[in-house]
Structure 1
Amino acid sequence: MSDNSGQYRFEVIGKIGSGSLFTVYRARDLLLNKPVALKVLRRQYAQDEGFAAALKDCGRRAMKLTDEHVGRILAVGQEGEHVFQATELLGERTLHELLVAEAPLQQDRALSLFLQICTAVDHAHRRQCPHGDLRPHNVFLTDSGRVKVADFGVASAFSEAKVSQTDALLRSIHYLAPERTQGAPASVAADVYSLGALLYQMLTGAVPFDAVSPLSIARKHANQPPAPMQSLNPRVAQTMEEVVRRCLEKDPRARYPSVDALITHLQALLTAPPADPREMAPERGTHRRPRGARHWAVGALSSIVTSVVFIALCGGLAFGAFWLYRRSAPKDIEVPDVIGKTRSAAEADLQRAGLLLRVAREEYSAEVPTGQVTHTEPAAGMRVKEGRIVSAVLSRGAELILVPDVRQASLQRAKDLLTQVELVPGEVREDYDEVIPEGYVSRQSPPARSRAPKGSQVALQVSKGRAAGAPAHEGDTADVQPPGPKKRARIRMRVPAGAERQEVRFLISDDQGDHVAYEKVHAPGDEIAKTVGGRGEQVRLRIFLDGKLVRDKSLE
């Protein structure tokens, strides 16, 4: 597929498959130089202008989702009658295929996958983007075992366009909350219900409700409780039974108020110590009153012997129960040090130690490279119970600051401006300048409106005024060198996927210094066509997106 400038961005390689909504192709994004999945909307939906517009709008909102467990949307667009989404290429195996082959899953494996699904959904909820169509077919598994949840925004497009959702509801009927089958839009509460249905199937191998017709399934969602999971898989823990039961409450208000609350409860259950074994109270027998002293003595002796045996038996049982408890209780484990390790390496280290990893959030860090662990809770060296979830914070790298334009400001004013945005005034050099008055900044590096790591230095060049013997006016020719040759280039580009508002800037460096040739805020998918030029033997063009250098070329 091409953009309007005639430049092809997506090169289709082959067909992956077809669904009720999209036909999916393997393609290469020539702008980002990476393989992608190109999802082309089926004709009957593309011809509905309202739905096509709603899908594109919801897709652009979903482009803001950046969690590592979300199947990223990279671009949304339309070429002729073809409406498409370009997404990252996900794993070829879905959770549906895994469950068909291996369900029911072991509880620790099921929870490891389930918590990753929850993390993706919670990330989307925090950005007001409920899923609305959570089912095993939309959960992908990478080769490394990581989860990717796809198709955020699709259900919302149906609701916003007010078109029939019959096909969508039919394919998701086993996982839909009762209110969704009655026409309610996607919501946090409905996603919590669908997550409960997913966990039910992962632990039992069966869906909570099934019947001959979709209508019968919908009625069961609305009116019947699901079969206890332990009746289908006796190995399911009672605590998991209670978690799923709360997710599948008919009344949305009785469910977990958020996916974060669900995650927190699961984490608390997994880290709680096991309950003490209950001691069995003995049953008391009935004794006939003996006749005569001899009978009384025999009876008393018998009672004493019985009591001794009973006490010994109880003691043995108590010791045995205590021994079994000690044998079955989770071991104390020292949390390994995973600071500075990538997510996959940290996860592997924790699993070898008998612990689970959950990425709690991402934070800026000037010391730890992007994608590596900055700290954990509990911290390294602490002793915890086997099976506990360790929450980790991943680095987003150094926070990038928009560099202010301090040119033509006094040196002190320039330093103040840099300090205000947590940048550090760096080396100060002086040089003659034909335009900038003495004592004022003539150049800066990094350039204005680029982005630099928080706390980094900005070098300044301060004008010494006009050099001795320099011409006083532009028309004077004494000692003036003729300008170098003029070089031009026509630049065409399309703004890639990313934030809804992206600053695009063309910076020209030539014999006359650095100057901005183009600067404007654009949305993803916008096309830019601009002729730029400069003077000199070497003219350099640099293109920045939100302060990040994306292209650097010399003009011929």
Structure 2
Amino acid sequence: MIEPGTILNERYKLIKTLGEGGMANVYLARDLILDRDVAVKVLRLDLQNDPDTVRRFQREAMATSELVHPNIVSIYDVGESHGQQFLVMEYVKGSDLKHYIVEHFPIPYQRVVDMMEEILSAVQTAHDHNIIHRDLKPQNILIDANGHAKITDFGIAVALSENSMTMTNSLLGSVHYLSPEQARGSMPTRQSDIYALGIILFEMLTGSVPFEGDSAVSIALKHFQEEVPSVRAFDPHIPQALENVVFKATAKNPANRYTSAEAMASDLNTALSPARAHEAKYVIPKDDLDETRVVPIVPNGPTPPHNSDGGADQPASQAAPENRPKKKRRRWLIVAISAAVVLLLLIGIGVVTANQKADVAVPDLRGMTTAQAKTALKSARLKVGKYRYAYSTKVDKDLVIDSDPKRQVSVKESSSVNLILSRGQPRITLDNYVGQDYSDAKSDLQKRGVTVKEKLIKTNEAAAGKILSQSIKAGKKVIASKTTITFGVAEPIKVKKDNTTFALRDLTGYTEKSLRDYANEVGLKIVISQSYSDTVDTGMVISQNPAAGTQVQSGATVNVTISQGADPDEVKTVSKTISIPYQAPSAASGSASASASSSGVTPNGIQVFIGDKTHNISDINKTFNITADDQVTITLQVSKKYPGSYRVVRDGTVIAQEANITQ
């Protein structure tokens, strides 16, 4: 373990331990340069000298750094400090999916589907980069503060193109989520990750894993000997279509699972659709090699060696009669000719029948995915024709709106049926409505299906009813029926008509809201400007014109300046005086007397490093010797954008340092 407060590479200050693993420990740290929290994974001290472990640790960083996806934990940096390997990752504030399931179970089905789709999208990205995770489990899926999933720990992920990483004899991954082929010791594939995802989906729906046992071996055996239990047996309210996703993802034979994470996500996306409410239970196809087959006997084929005329006990050396009666020969000839005639008649009937196609009804394909529609058409002895896309306010994107010919229309079998697929709800592009009349913009948007709200802003700087702001930026494409836009609309300030003269208040320290409240109360017009300030908090009034106490009338204009806070680019000069105690060398240093000064005292060598807007902390700023307690004054040019730092070294040992100096 590393003590909190330790700084790695003069940049990452460790704050506390987040977790301990078999290979590395994870710490919450502060990036002193970018001023943000990060997670730092440090290889355990007892493994630093193991080249295989170091190589595996570095491989994790290489494998994950090329994966850029909102649902995959990002790798920011990889480094080594004092012989310790470490990597810097995105810090996800929240818990892992294992804890989330415990704390939130039962989880609403739609929430389960949404979270799984995020996970599947991330896994698809990894697979697109030829990276198999191998260890997918709820503990390796983090849930951030907004409820979004992020996959982490690609520590045993393997790039398919790297043959040197083949581990056919290693059983990798946690046993509760291990695919049958991994349990047998086979090389994992993309379908192995899909199996683990199916088990994770099972756990999210039931709150527990499908297989338990007294040992890892007994659990692994269950993965390739027993079928995954029914989630509907645990909760009968789970839709059959959703259970079918679990069954297909966890098929024992990888060939029977989804071909990709994207395919699983596509099926999962419609699992709660009313169109699939009466879906039949998915039956996993039996492997052909596991089925018992009856091998037909070939007519007129070779006679079995020990049964020449039907006698089971006839010796093999016994000779068959040389001549058979002629009647038998004629009888067999008649039978053969008759069989040939019957065969020809059957062939003729088959040809005629084949040319007479039966009439079939087009099935109802509405709400299905293209894959489901293909299956339904194949079952009805029909084919998929062309695809056509259309917008729909009722049917989700990529699902079937209708077919051509339509449902229940009678057509000949093997006919093609065209599919009309949904583009989703139509999107509109929002304009810049600032400066327009609110009533006109509201009328136009409401006709297009957008919900419009009004927020009145008291001002005399714009005509009444003019739009001053909008909650959604111009140019954004939105689904009209799902969009609410709020406009800030000008409302005139009622100015007192009696022209009363009064003394202006001291407005310094007012917020913009309290400023406008006062202006409305006495009938003033306020003109606001902004400026940086080191002494006045952001959003507060710095100054005013006319000054406080000035006699003004209702309707007068007052100019105020509001603080934006300190200027991040303003450079300040900061001086630090550091005391340097002299330390006499130990008696064990053999050459100490040789380097003594003329006074007979051995000097200490001092090095000063500084980092600011113009200096790099890695470069020596000054070097000198001391023979008694001394001090040094360091001058830094710093700002919020360029925080300062310093380090004082005495005879190779750091005796004083400080970072993130801004004032």
- TM-score, normalization: structure 1? 0.48
Q: Whose Rg is larger?
A: 2
